Amino acid sequence: MVEARKQFTLYSHKGGPNGWKVALVLSELGLSSRVETIYLDFSSGEHKRPPYITLNPNARYDDEFVVWESNAIIKYLVDRYDPEHKISATGDDIYLQDQWLSFQASGQGSYFAQGVYFHYFDEDQNEVARTRYENEILRVFGVLESVLSQHDWLVGDKYSVADLAFLTWNQTGIKLTSRVPDFKGFEKDFPLQDLARR
Average pLDDT value for residue range 141-164: 90
- The residues that bridge with 36 in the sheet, in sequence order, are 9
Q: Which CATH fold would you assign to the domain 92-189?
A: Glutathione S-transferase Yfyf (Class Pi); Chain A, domain 2 (1.20.1050)
* Each residue's pLDDT tens digit, 54-96: 666 654 444 467 888 999 999 999 999 999 999 999 999 999 9
| Mean pLDDT, rounded, of the chain | 81
CATH 3.40.30.10 domain span(s) along the chain: 8-82
Report yes or no: 78 and 135 within 8 Å, Cβ to Cβ. Answer: no
pLDDT greater than 90 at residue 104: yes
Supply the DSSP symbol for 68: -
Percent of the chain with pLDDT over 70: 77
pLDDT of residue 14: 83
Report yes or no: 40 and 46 within 8 Å, Cβ to Cβ. Answer: yes
Helices (H), 82-152: 93-103, 110-116, 127-148
- The residue among 88 and 37 whose pLDDT is bigger is 88
Is the domain spanning 8-82 CATH 3.40.50.720? The answer is: no
- The residue among 153 and 15 whose pLDDT is bigger is 153
pLDDT of residue 179: 52
pLDDT of residue 80: 94
Nearest to 38 by CA among 65, 64, 5: 5
Q: Locate the DSSP E strands across the chain.
A: 8-12, 35-39
- Per-residue pLDDT band for 152 (boundaries 50, 70, 90) equals confident
CA distance 191 to 180: 21
Reported pTM: 0.81
The long-range contacts involving 175-180, CB below 8 angstroms and separated by at least 24 positions, are 176/112, 176/115, 176/116, 176/119, 176/133, 176/134, 176/137, 177/134, 177/137, 177/138, 177/141, 180/134, 180/138
pLDDT greater than 90 at residue 161: yes
CA distance 135 to 118: 13
Does residue 106 sit in helix, strand or coil? helix
CATH 1.20.1050.10 domain span(s) along the chain: 92-189
pLDDT of residue 85: 98
CA distance 91 to 94: 6
Distances (CA, A) of 63 to 31, 55, 121, 198: 15, 12, 36, 27
- The residue among 196 and 142 whose pLDDT is bigger is 142
pLDDT of residue 194: 59
